[in-house]
Structure 1
């Protein structure tokens, strides 16, 4: 634990704490509900819900506003804010180059690509947007839903497993006598 603290403390010290948020823009915007104990204290439901929410938003094609969406949604859905923010980091500039094309291919498989006659009334920029947006959002909805469901179920199972006390197998008080010697005087 000591080496972890020494190695990663310089990163962890920049994470905002509740005391840093008092009086800030978010506090003025969201009010005192930002400081509700359920949003910050880790419980099974809030951690699982926060990670599921963060992954759902993280897999959606909302690059650039994912943290804002996750944070505000976590306050209104009353799930763990740090887990929601951490889950939204699943897509970053490096992983997005892999995730978004996969979501797009899944979307093409699900909804197909729009026909050229469907795109006739759009200007060229909007035509390109309409051609790519529908399959991308359809694929991302499937990816997001699956990731959120797996995260919620996985955290719940792991949490319950960690909370279940491990008991050692009980040994009998006496060892039985060897066969054939039980009734000898």
Structure 2
């Protein structure tokens, strides 16, 4: 089953629940839906994990975890997918989402400067935040939606293949 494939990469639910740093969540963390591996839970985790990965906000993981708690989808998968944007990938990803937002809003390109200091960043941020946020939200929604659909289709394909394999085994035994 698809569960067996995914379960190999996830931490044990009991180990996560016993972490002292997470005890403030109380009974919320003991909801079994947060660790279930079913088609619905995993697909939603893919959507929200990818969506928050593309959001250029501080605390992406916290926001993704709160969303996973709210919609009761698989928490470890949601948090793992937020790491799509990591120190190696965030610059090209957010540059591409900025360019998409800039294209949609029809905003002219910024003039480049040879001096990149904190004052320059703060001044330019007032010009780039709208295209960056729009491009990131749109990209996160589309790629998250594709992740959701892909997991739904993968899960169905995997179950159908297992059923067919069992059917073939029964036919071979009967012959």
TM-score tier after normalising by the smaller chain length:
0.7 to 0.9
Structure 1 position 68, deviation (Å): 1.5
- Structure 1 regions of 5+ residues with no counterpart? 1-8, 115-122, 171-185
User: Residue in 2 aligned with 1:73?
Assistant: 67
Partner of 1:82: 76
CA contact (8 A) 1:113 1:131 kept: no
Alignment deviations for residues 98-145 of structure 1 (CA, whole Å, 9 cap, x no partner): 10110010010011338xxxxxxxx97654222011110010011100
Query: Which residue is equivalent to 1:131?
Result: 127
In the alignment, what sits opposite 1:155? 151
Give the Å deviation of 1:21: 3.3
Q: What RMSD, in angstroms, separates the aligned Cα atoms of the two structures?
A: 2.7
- Greater length-normalized contact order (CA 8 Å, ≥ 6 residues apart): 2
TM-score (norm 1): 0.71
Equivalence for 1:174: none
SS of alignment partner, residue 90 of structure 1: coil
More helix by share: 2
Of residues 48, 73, 77 in structure 1, which corresponds to 2:43?
Answer: 48
Deviations 1:1-21 (A, max 9, x none): xxxxxxxx9xx79x5743453
- Cα deviation for residue 35 of structure 1 reads 1.2
Superposition pairs of residues 1-185 of structure 1, within 5 angstroms: 15=11, 17-22=13-18, 24-28=20-24, 30-62=25-57, 64-113=58-107, 126-164=122-160, 165-166=163-164, 167-168=167-168
| Stretches (4+) displaced over 6 A | none
The question of whether the paired residues in 1 share the 8 Å contact of 2:64 and 2:78 is answered with yes
Deviation at 1:76, TM superposition (A): 1.1
- 1:143/1:75 Cα in 2 relative to 1: closer, same or farther (>3 Å)? same
Aligned residues: 150
Alignment TM-score, normalising by the size of structure 2: 0.75
